[in-house]
Amino acid sequence: MTRNSILWRYLRRCVAIASLSKSQIKLIENTVNKLVGLRLSMWALKIVVGAREQGTLNWEQEESFD
């Protein structure tokens, strides 16, 4: 197994994660959650902007989703 193989890199990451403390893991989880939320927000914004540019979204149109 070479040092650059996918399995080797995966094993190194597992060892690195296993050596973290609970507080470090929680910090990483919170950071990842924020980044994922930010990415989803940007994705949603791109959809809205794209719809607005195509004329399929009218900001003045008041619709209720109840």
Mean pLDDT split into 10-residue runs, the chain, 66 residues = 72 77 83 83 79 66 52
Residue 66's pLDDT is 47
Question: Model's pTM, two decimal places?
Answer: 0.44
Four-residue CA torsion sign, 32, 37, 42, 47: positive
Annotate 17-56 with b (16+ C-beta within 10 A) or e (fewer).
eeeeeeeeeeeeeeeeeeeeeeeeeeeeeeeeeeeeeeee
C-alpha span between 66 and 58 (Å, rounded): 19
C-alpha span between 62 and 60 (Å, rounded): 6
Residue 35's pLDDT is 83
